[in-house]
Structure 1
Amino acid sequence: MAEKISFPVDTPSGPRTATVVYERLGGGEPMVLLHGIGHHLQVWDPVVGLLAAEHDVVAVDLPGFGLSPGLPGGITYDLKGVIPVLGALFEALGLDRPHVVGNSLGGLIALELGHRKLVRSVTALSPAGFWTPGERLWAYAVLRALRTGAERLPEPTVARLARTAAGRAALVGAIYARPGRRSPDALVAETRALREATGFEATLAAGRSLLYAHDVLDVPVTIAWGTRDRLLPRRQGVRAKKLIPGARLVRLPGCGHVPMNDDPALVARVALDTAR
């Protein structure tokens, strides 16, 4: 069941109060799950139970996404703004350097948390930030098209499309290699989350000039990429490995950009192996 927590965040202009919605399950060493742009914490549903068998799992709606309100005034949606918010969230939830698993935007954030030594291990699934200018433009065009579709399609139409294989492919084929494995109700909820994401535009704007440029030292890192990722081509994983040479680079056969739904068992195994 989703819970909400409000907590103080220190900023140069003084403390601010951030609010985050999360779900928590399991026991053991803490593990935090971070979704991609426009998504919500329920995107982790296929793997949460597998991870919770060994970990205290906290799936988060990032600020401005899902049911979490936007960031308070004075805090930006770039890494400089978001990382202190998550650090404060960890403290508020009593999470002592959790393992972190992130997808896309969440993968980028996970790597930065690792760079700053705020986590025990990092599993980054198709992380953003390793693109060429042309690849970034392509990804932004796809994301904007998905957002426009979510805004313009009435929810009954989305529900009708989600009940057919062709409709599911049209709705989310750009990010899932196997959209038929996502339930109609989940796709309706995802479309609603994308439509209502107050942090979408600010997050896109913050990433326009972003190229990830840090090594991640003294923290176990796995970078995993789906072989059928249509949003961020898997060659970006090779660039990530060159920048973070100590990382383990893993292929996710048959998986798209959001692999948790395409192959839950494989994604869970990769994350658990990294945490171990």
Structure 2
Amino acid sequence: MTADAQQVVLLHGVTMSAAAWQRVIPLLDEFDVHAPTAAGHRGGPAARRRPATIADTIDAAERFLDETGLDRPHLVGNSMGGWMAIELARRGRAASVCALAPAGFWSAGQRSHKASTARVRRTVTMSRLPRPLSSAALRSGTVRRLAFRDIACRADRLTPAQALESIDDVLGCAVAGDLLGTAESIAPLDPLPCPVTLAWSERDKVFPVDVNGAIARERLPRAEFVVLPGVGHVPMIDDPQLVAETIRRRVVGS
């Protein structure tokens, strides 16, 4: 397999969709960018079995690479997408990886893992408000900021339409319960099969940098580790420009 020098694939987090990257993609116009929606998520292919696993989701992402003719593109992922990118690299399918606050760095039964999934489950529950009520409430920047406070610091920077689309993504994710309940995790990876950057959000409430970031550094000791200032778990919401610059530096430098 050969590296696809200007091909970048963006992988989103659990319960989200390719729309998670809509404010970042225009800032990466020098690359050929692909942003698939994960299996079992709104707008993506159906899950092939239930309960779905992270491994199943990674298998589906690899099928996307095959179908799109991408051997070893540069992979960028946030949360679950970062986990997927690392595992695809383990399979030899990445020229480089930039994992933004990746999921999967926990130990079985770890209290922080349960707390993290509880935050995401709370977002899922809040998304079940009647749509007219959600639509009206999300016109307020303050409400948007509060509604997404577990995953972002400045969700008021989303438009009301973008915030509502995020809620639709949560409601349309058929495999949320399956994936949030997974016992899977990322195993140690050393040496690395390609350059890997772990770009952790400084203000991540879901996977705190001093807990999950520390585990990530132990399991991928040769990865580059950087902290993204002033952003929450989904940095594409808080600072798309910072995310694009982080991606660009890693792709060009790999």
TM-score of the superposition, structure 1-length normalised? 0.84
1:30 Cα deviation (Å)?
1.2
Aligned partner of 1:121 among 75, 81, 96: 96
8 Å contact from structure 1 (residues 38, 197) kept in 2: yes
Aligned partner of 1:136 among 113, 124, 129: 113
8 Å contact from structure 1 (residues 31, 57) kept in 2: yes
Matches within 5 A, 1:31-70: 31-51=8-28, 53-70=29-46
Higher relative contact order (CA 8 A, sep 6+): 2
Provide Cα deviations, 1:184-224, integer angstroms capped at 9, x if missing partner.
Answer: 1001011011012111112123x2x2231131513011101
Q: Cα distance 1:139–1:122, how it changes in 2: closer, same or farther (>3 A)?
A: same
1:84 Cα deviation (Å)?
2.5
What 5-or-longer segments of structure 1 have no aligned partner?
1-26
Provide Cα deviations, 1:28-72, integer angstroms capped at 9, x if missing partner.
Answer: 721111111111111101110112x22110111101112114212
Aligned partner of 1:254 among 224, 230, 237: 230
Separation (CA, whole Å) in 2 of partners of 1:80 and 1:64: 13
Other-structure match for 2:127: 150
Question: What amino acid maps onto 2:205 in structure 1?
Answer: R
What 5-or-longer segments of structure 2 have no aligned partner?
none
Other-structure match for 2:209: 234
Other-structure match for 1:211: 185
What SS does the aligned partner of 2:156 have? Answer: helix
Separation (CA, whole Å) in 2 of partners of 1:95 and 1:82: 17
Q: Given the alignment of the two structures, is residue 95 of structure 1 paired with residue 63 of structure 2, yes or no?
A: no
Other-structure match for 1:80: 55
What SS does the aligned partner of 2:75 have? Answer: strand
Moved more, 85-94 or 187-196: 85-94
Q: Cα distance 1:76–1:32, how it changes in 2: closer, same or farther (>3 A)?
A: farther
8 Å contact from structure 1 (residues 104, 127) kept in 2: yes
8 Å contact from structure 1 (residues 28, 56) kept in 2: no
Percentage identity across aligned positions?
A: 34
Separation (CA, whole Å) in 1 of partners of 2:34 and 2:46: 19
8 Å contact from structure 2 (residues 38, 60) kept in 1: no
Provide Cα deviations, 1:124-172, integer angstroms capped at 9, x if missing partner.
Answer: 0111111351111111111111111112x11121112211132112311
Aligned residues: 245
Which structure has the highest strand share of the two? 1
Separation (CA, whole Å) in 1 of partners of 2:63 and 2:242: 31
8 Å contact from structure 1 (residues 131, 232) kept in 2: no
Question: What amino acid maps onto 2:111 in structure 1?
Answer: G
1:82 Cα deviation (Å)?
2.5
Other-structure match for 1:199: 175
Other-structure match for 1:16: none
8 Å contact from structure 1 (residues 34, 103) kept in 2: yes
Separation (CA, whole Å) in 1 of partners of 2:133 and 2:15: 20
Separation (CA, whole Å) in 1 of partners of 2:58 and 2:80: 12
Other-structure match for 2:135: 159
Structure 1 stretches (4+) deviating beyond 4 angstroms?
Answer: none
1:76 Cα deviation (Å)?
6.1
Aligned partner of 1:175 among 139, 151, 154: 151
Structure 1 vs Structure 2 CA RMSD: 1.7
